[in-house]
Copies of this chain bind each other. A is one copy, B any other.
Amino acid sequence: MIVVIKNDAPQEKVDELKQMLEGYGVTLNLSVGTHSTVIGLLGDTSAIDADLIAAQDIVEAVKRVQEPYKKANRKFHPENTVINIKPGVDIGGKSLAVIAGPCSVESEEQIIEVAKRVKAAGANFLRGGAFKPRTSPYSFQGLKAEGLELLKIARRETGLPIVTEIMSVEHLPLFEDVDIIQVGARNMQNFEMLKELGKIDKPILLKRGLANTIEELLMSAEYIMSGGNENVILCERGIRTFETYTRNTLDISAVPVLKRLSHLPVIVDPSHAGGLPWLVEPLTKAAIAVGADGVMIEVHNNPKKALSDGAQSLTPDQFDNVMKMVKKYAAIGDRTI
Contacts and interface: CB of A to CB of B under 8 A. Distances in A.
Interface stretch (A79-87, A113-121, A216-224): A216-224
A217 B260 CA distance: 33
Interface stretch (A147-155, A173-181, A275-283): A275-283
Interface stretch (A94-102, A122-130, A251-259): A251-259
A139 B47 contact: yes
A285 B38 CA distance: 36
A289 B279 contact: no
Contacts of A190: 167-168, 186-187, 190
Contacts of A36: 40, 42, 65
Between A30, A186, A291, the greatest number of chain B beta carbons within 10 A of the residue's beta carbon is seen for A186
Interface in A270-306: 273-274, 277-279, 282-283, 285-291, 303-306
A273 B289 contact: no
B243 A239 contact: yes
Interface string A122-142: 000000000101111111100
10 contacts: A2-B38, A34-B42, A49-B307, A52-B311, A137-B222, A213-B244, A252-B252, A256-B283, A257-B279, A289-B289
